[in-house]
């Protein structure tokens, strides 16, 4: 007997899942069947198509986290179709619009809704390629316009306050490595001791969290000192650089709780800083120090320099300096000239033009000289 679809069965939070953390640090050869846990027992329309799609993602070497996130979104989508009495074979643009509205009604941010819609379209594209559905619904896709927010960097004074309250060697190393390398939190949690070169002050990221391409990042003296202190205290038999008591790794949840605790101690809890703000702070400070965008792009692991360019909009010293230089001239009264003529003066040439006859205009107009004038045959 198929079990009913409940919200707690469909919901999936990868960051809180120990299975996901183990997957991220394990070998690639694990069976994909672990992804289908519970899916076969659910009464969802088109779940066999979903299983086929997930297997296709696995064959194409998509990240496990990507597959799990696709599973979470598409289970919600199929459950929505069931509750509305629709199905994949009869899917319409109106069904997608209703799904978007239902996700917004749940309080999701527009960026999250767009991500879910992209996953639905990717699934639908697979079904089209397999000849299972008609391509009509993808002819004119629904586009959600999401505001482009500036990255949120931590104020320099707040950085000093935060670092000053961190005394635990492991926690201090975590925060300073994130702050001085700009790596993503998932990249730090997957870092092994063998990836760190204390002598050359660099970390080798074997596989980028998003691009899946490795890169090398560097760390400063204060981060080096924090790492040396932590390496002298940690269990040398552990493979991963950072771990929690009783576990082989440090989870995102534990890192988030640790960071929140120190924000409260520093009196910064009300400012809404997150772990990812350390990456934004890293990029902003390097740009302020004069680093070129092309170098920063490589350190951050961005595929496109347009993504890196967001930080130039956040902090551009050249633009700032030119603004205050120009404003100082304006405030001193150094701007001369008028921007707009007097209305009475503007009407004089117009009035004169109206009173001039057409014949007078022709008379006043310079006559063109014929190229044959003065020619003697």
Instruction: Report pTM.
Output: 0.67
d(CA 121, CA 23): 26
Domains by residue range for the chain, with CATH: 7-138 (no CATH), 156-319 (1.10.443.10)
Nearest one of 257, 239, 260, 259 to 248, comparing CA atoms: 239
d(CA 308, CA 302): 7
The answer to whether the CB of 169 falls within 8 A of the CB of 192 is: no
Residue 18 is inside which H or E element, if any? helix 18-25
60: DSSP letter: T
| Number of residues assigned to the chain | 377
The answer to whether the CB of 222 falls within 8 A of the CB of 177 is: no
Residue 98 is inside which H or E element, if any? helix 93-105
Measured between alpha carbons, how far is residue 124 from residues 16, 89, 92, 142, 246 in Å?
28, 11, 12, 13, 43
Each of the 377 residues of the chain gets a pLDDT tens digit; together they read 333 444 434 443 443 333 344 444 444 445 566 666 667 777 788 888 898 999 899 888 888 888 889 999 999 999 898 888 888 878 888 888 999 999 888 888 888 999 999 999 999 899 888 888 777 777 788 888 877 777 889 999 999 999 999 999 999 999 999 999 999 999 999 999 999 999 999 999 988 777 778 899 999 999 999 999 999 999 999 999 999 998 999 999 999 999 999 999 999 999 999 999 999 999 999 988 888 889 999 999 998 888 888 888 777 776 777 888 888 888 888 776 665 655 555 555 555 555 555 445 444 545 544 444 444 44
């Amino acid at each position: 007997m198929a079990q009913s679809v409940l919200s707690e069965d469909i919901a999936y939070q990868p960051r809180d899942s120990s299975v996901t953390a183990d997957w991220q640090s394990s070998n690639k050869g694990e069976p994909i069947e672990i992804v289908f846990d519970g899916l076969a027992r659910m009464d969802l329309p088109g779940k066999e198509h979903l299983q086929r799609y997930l297997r296709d993602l696995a064959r194409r070497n998509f990240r496990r986290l990507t597959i799990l996130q696709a599973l979470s979104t598409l289970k919600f989508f199929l459950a929505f179709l069931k509750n509305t009495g629709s199905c994949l074979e009869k899917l319409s643009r109106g069904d997608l619009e209703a799904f978007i509205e239902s996700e917004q009604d749940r309080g999701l941010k527009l960026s999250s809704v767009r991500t879910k819609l992209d996953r639905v379209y990717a699934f639908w594209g697979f079904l089209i390629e397999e000849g299972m559905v008609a391509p009509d619904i993808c002819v004119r896709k629904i586009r959600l316009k999401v505001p482009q927010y500036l990255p949120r960097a931590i104020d320099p004074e707040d950085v000093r306050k935060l670092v000053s309250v961190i005394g635990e060697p492991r926690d201090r190393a975590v925060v300073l490595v994130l702050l001085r390398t700009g790596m993503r939190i998932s990249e730090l949690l997957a870092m092994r001791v063998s990836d760190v070169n204390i002598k050359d002050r660099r970390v080798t990221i074997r596989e980028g969290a998003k691009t899946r391409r490795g890169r090398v990042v560097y760390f400063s003296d204060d981060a080096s000192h924090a790492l040396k202190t932590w390496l002298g205290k940690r269990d040398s038999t552990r493979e991963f650089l950072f771990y929690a008591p009783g576990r082989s790794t440090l989870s995102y949840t534990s890192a988030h709780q640790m960071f929140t605790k120190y924000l409260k101690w520093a009196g910064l809890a009300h400012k809404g800083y997150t772990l990812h703000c350390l990456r934004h702070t890293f990029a902003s400070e390097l740009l302020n120090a004069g680093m070129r965008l092309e170098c920063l792009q490589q350190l951050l692991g961005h595929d496109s320099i347009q993504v890196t360019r967001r930080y130039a909009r956040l902090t551009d010293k050249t633009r700032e300096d030119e603004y205050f230089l120009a404003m100082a001239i304006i405030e001193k009264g150094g701007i001369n000239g008028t921007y707009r003529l007097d209305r009475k003066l503007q009407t004089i040439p117009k009035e004169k033009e109206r009173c001039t006859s057409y014949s007078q205009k022709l008379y006043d107009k310079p006559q063109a000289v014929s190229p044959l004038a003065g020619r003697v045959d």
